[in-house]
């Protein structure tokens, strides 16, 4: 069993994954920001679940927008257990609206949370993984950089940035025997608070200029839900896939795994993109960076 740290575990996929992993016997640190304030109720629910189930499940303060917070969280877990085996970069936020109406500060903020946040956590944990020449970096990404739907522009950008960060970090992590997995959920309208908690653009004047498209934005969630086939895997299905993948032996974990109730065909794009990238990296003379090295 592994010691696992997961970010953004207050709600949604992170919350379900933390519970599922702990139920499978892992030691899990479900991290979230503002444990004593805005997320106090979520933290209390998680602790109550741990007591009732007897799972080795703990709540941990971690704000992915702070390097100090990421460092402190990783240090706390490592000191308590003598190490850390898995980090799941899951924290994220959703923006809905017209791209032009999001200010540069809006877009920068979302990239900071959804992409740079993962980098901060990686910087905190990679020294531990490198010393051990082992560990798993898992990212809860999205199919959205491939499907690229309208009215979610900054979110698409931030998730694409996170995905690229995961891919490029993997080259160097592979050299130290550190595995990388990118989990790609498709559209999910149930089991998360993404849509209800989504932020809107700051520039209301520009938003007003797009009023003719408001009816399209208003049906965005309904349109997404209409694409989904039943029975739904949803957020719970993503959590189950995370548990399954982490149980696989070294060298057998997939670099990408897709859980998509919309069946958008993202797997085909992934296959072509991987072969193109792998061929290019081999031509550069770095084939050994394409897979984690065995100790």
Query: What pLDDT is stored for residue 196 in this prediction?
Result: 66
Residue 269 pLDDT > 70, yes or no? yes
> Is 155 known to be catalytic?
yes
pLDDT tens digits, 72-122: 999 999 999 999 999 999 999 999 999 999 999 999 999 999 999 999 999
Task: Give the CA-trace dihedral at 177, 237, 107, 88, to 10 degrees.
Answer: -30
Q: What is the pLDDT of residue 191?
A: 64
Considering only CA atoms, which of 114, 111, 167, 161 is closest in space to residue 137? 167
Please report, rounded to a whole number, the percentage of residues in the chain having pLDDT higher than 70.
98
Distance CA 236, CA 214 (A): 31
Q: How far apart are CA 178 and CA 84, in angstroms?
A: 12
Q: Torsions phi, psi of 89, nearest 5? A: -80, 100
Average pLDDT, the chain: 95
Please compute the mean of the pLDDT values over residues 151-171 and round it to a whole number: 98
CA distances from 103 to 95, 201, 227, 265 (A): 12, 7, 31, 33
Instruction: Specify the pLDDT at position 264.
Output: 95
132 pLDDT higher than 90: yes
Residues linked to residue 31 through DSSP beta bridges, in sequence order: 60
Catalytic residue among 155, 171, 210, 286: 155
295 pLDDT band, cuts 50/70/90, is: confident
Nearest C-alpha neighbor of 23 from the set 60, 49, 61: 49
User: Which long-range contacts does 213-222 make (Cβ < 8 Å, 24+ apart)?
Assistant: 213/98, 216/150, 216/151, 217/96, 217/97, 217/98, 217/151, 220/96, 220/149, 220/151, 220/152, 221/189, 221/195
Domains for the chain: give ranges and CATH numbers: 3-290 (3.40.50.720)
What is the tens place of the pLDDT at every residue in 177-236?
A: 999 999 999 998 776 666 667 889 999 999 999 999 999 998 887 888 899 988 899 999
Tens digits of residue pLDDT in 278-288: 999 999 999 99
């Amino acid at each position: 069993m592994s010691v696992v740290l997961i970010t953004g575990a207050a709600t949604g996929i992170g919350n379900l994954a933390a519970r599922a992993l702990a139920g499978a016997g892992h030691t899990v640190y479900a991290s979230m920001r503002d444990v004593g304030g805005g997320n106090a109720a979520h933290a209390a629910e998680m602790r109550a679940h741990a007591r009732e189930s007897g799972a080795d499940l703990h709540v941990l303060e971690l704000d992915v927008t702070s390097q100090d917070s990421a460092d402190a969280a990783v240090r706390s877990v490592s000191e308590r257990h003598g190490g850390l085996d898995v980090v799941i970069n899951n924290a994220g936020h959703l923006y809905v609206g017209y791209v032009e109406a999001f200010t540069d500060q809006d877009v920068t903020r979302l990239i900071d949370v959804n992409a740079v946040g993962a980098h901060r956590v990686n910087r905190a944990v990679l020294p531990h993984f490198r010393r051990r020449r082992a560990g798993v970096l898992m990212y809860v990404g999205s199919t959205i950089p491939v499907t690229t739907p309208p009215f979610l522009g900054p979110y698409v950008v931030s998730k694409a940035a996170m995905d690229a960060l995961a891919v490029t970090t993997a080259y160097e992590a592979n050299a130290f025997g550190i595995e990388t997995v990118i989990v790609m959920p498709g559209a999910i309208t149930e089991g998360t608070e993404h849509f209800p908690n989504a932020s809107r653009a700051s520039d209301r004047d520009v938003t007003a200029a797009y009023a003719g498209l408001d009816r399209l934005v208003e049906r965005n969630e309904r349109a997404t839900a209409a694409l989904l086939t039943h029975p739904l895997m949803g957020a719970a299905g993503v959590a189950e896939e995370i548990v399954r993948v982490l149980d696989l032996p070294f060298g057998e974990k997939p670099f990408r795994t897709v859980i998509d109730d919309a069946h958008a065909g993202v797997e085909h794009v992934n296959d072509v993109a991987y072969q193109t990238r792998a061929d290019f990296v081999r031509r550069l003379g770095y084939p050994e960076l394409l897979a984690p090295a065995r100790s």
